[in-house]
Amino acid sequence: MGPPLGRSPRPAAAPPPADGHRTDHPGRCRRPRTRPARGEIGEPAAAAVLRALACCLTVSLCDAEGRPVIDAEPLHPGARWAEPVRADRTARWSRYASVRAEGGEVVAESPLGGHRITVHDGRLLAALPAAAAAGPVSALSWPPAVTAWLAASGLLAVADDDGSFPEDARETAAWSPQDLASWWCSRPGLHDRPVGATPASAAADAEGGPTPVESGSVGVLPLPRADITRLRDEDRTLTAVLEDRRSVREHGGEPLTAAAVGEFLDRCFGLRQAPDRAGRRAFPSAGAIEDLTVYLVVGRCTGVPPGVHRYDPGRHALVAVPPGPPGRDGGALLRGAARTAGVAAAPDLLVVLTSRVSRLAAKYAGLAYSLTLRNAGVLYQSMYLVGASMGLATCALGFTDSRLTAGALGLELPGEVPVGEFMIGSPGTGGAPAR
């Protein structure tokens, strides 16, 4: 990679707070850039000072002519100075490393490291394929200083003396790269990106609330409402419902009725009627933004036609969704749900939860997808409890085919994405009667 590199630290802004929480800017905080000085750090005392300040210094590795090859930018206050990597160690490119374009530059980072690397020299990227397989550090084409910072950043996995890689330990290897990155990004402390509530723009506030539904009455099916007054007096206790709740994947011979579906949807997703909660949904939502939309895929139900419907809480009605292309319609989605559940017969009804993640992202930086999954989890529990109270067969699914779901529901990915599926039907033999 050309002449040997010098290490040239560059002063930067103060480190982030101890909890890493940033809410005062739309993007990550980049430390000020200055023209790097050339040369090596020669005196032990100076090196010790620089190591102590590693959490607030951006280090540039430069070639002999002073041109930066990479920058190493600390991600959190615990970031440490890169130590030399022994040439006899085995190393490989980490499976948790990510490389992407950001702000017109190529950057790389890993949840397992303490620094973000900005790449200025394309020869480093060209050498990545050779580093994919484990091999001796001495065989890497990068200079030792680059190797040290790649290892400190978690981008280069370095084996221990016994030849094992720490990232292959059971507790770490159990994480997929996608899951670990999602967890890492959605909580402060281990990176410098904003996480949490930010000042919401007027546009974001305007987007809050249920998805608007087309005007008119064509394709709109009003549903019976739940008798909340009667249920307050006669419904089963919360303890009884919690104790009796269970997943039931197979449905009985008699289909549900429109009255039962209307009660279920009203209790789980409808607007509240109490004066102090008028206009609010039945379930909590992060920031009261209500990013979730409810679709009902009907296989068999007395009084509700088969097909895909979107639930309109304002009118407590189902709005028909035009059929998807052949093979990606409501019937295909129901059959796919049966395969996911491991049963032979398609469910009577399938609730699909979709999210407009952008609504959450406009207010909650860094954890929008994490929040929408929590919102979906809240609704899973609500559907289980209401279903148990009504004597229905209910079962949450882990997933359905995203391409199939998008076609059947008419979604524009990734503007609106499926995040949860839930089967509903009448109970089988021996179950409580369906209402």
pLDDT tens for 114-142 read 999 999 998 889 999 999 999 999 999 88
Give me the mean pLDDT over the 49-60 stretch. Answer: 81
Selection from 276, 280, 271, 292 nearest residue 226 by Cα:
271
Of the chain, the percentage scoring pLDDT greater than 90 comes to 47
Pairing between β-strand 115-119 and β-strand 68-74 as defined by DSSP bridges: antiparallel
- In this prediction, residue 200 carries a pLDDT of 53
- Residue 292 contacts residue 354 (beta carbons within 8 Å): yes
- In this prediction, residue 274 carries a pLDDT of 58
Options 3.40.109.10, 3.90.1150.10, 3.30.1490.190, 3.40.50.300; CATH of 200-425: 3.40.109.10
**Please, what is the Cα angle at 276 between 271 and 279, to 5 degrees?**
25
Q: How far apart are CA 140 and CA 135, in angstroms?
A: 8
Task: Give the pair of three-digit tokens for residue 305.
Answer: 């036609």
- Residue 381 contacts residue 215 (beta carbons within 8 Å): no
Q: Edge-to-edge strand order for the sheet containing 90-93?
A: 135-136, 90-93, 156-158
- In this prediction, residue 381 carries a pLDDT of 93
Sorting pLDDT into bands at 50, 70 and 90, what band is 344? Answer: confident
Q: How far apart are CA 292 and CA 227, in angstroms?
A: 25
**pLDDT higher at 18 or 58:** 58
Tell me what the pLDDT averaged over the chain comes to.
82
* Position 91 pLDDT exceeds 60: yes
Peptide bond before 129: cis, by omega within 30 degrees of 0?
A: no
* Position 350 pLDDT exceeds 90: yes
| CB atoms inside a 10 Å sphere around CB 312 | 21
Tokens 């539904």 sit at which residue?
213
pLDDT tens for 368-419 read 888 999 999 999 999 999 999 999 999 999 888 888 999 999 999 899 999 9
Residue 178 makes CB contacts below 8 A (sequence gap 6+) with none
Task: Give the pair of three-digit tokens for residue 202.
Answer: 């007027």
Give me the mean pLDDT over the 29-51 stretch. Answer: 55
- Residue 389 contacts residue 242 (beta carbons within 8 Å): no
Give me the mean pLDDT over the 333-342 stretch. Answer: 91
Tokens 């059959």 sit at which residue?
335
- Helix 330-341 vs helix 402-409: crossing angle, to nearest 10: 150
* Position 34 pLDDT exceeds 50: no
Q: Which amino acid is at 345?
A: A
Q: What are phi and psi of 282, to 5 degrees?
A: -75, -15
The ranges assigned to domains in the chain are: 47-193, 200-425
Selection from 301, 298, 300, 281 nearest residue 289 by Cα:
281
pLDDT tens for 417-428 read 999 999 999 987
- Residue 387 contacts residue 424 (beta carbons within 8 Å): yes
* Position 11 pLDDT exceeds 80: no
- Residue 23 contacts residue 198 (beta carbons within 8 Å): yes
pLDDT tens for 286-296 read 877 888 999 99
pLDDT tens for 235-277 read 999 898 888 888 888 888 889 999 999 999 999 998 876 565 5
Q: How far apart are CA 427 and CA 103, in angstroms?
A: 55
The mean-pLDDT minimum among 24-38, 248-262, 298-312 falls in 24-38
- In this prediction, residue 219 carries a pLDDT of 83
Sorting pLDDT into bands at 50, 70 and 90, what band is 325? Answer: confident
- In this prediction, residue 276 carries a pLDDT of 58
Q: How far apart are CA 273 and CA 308, in angstroms?
A: 27
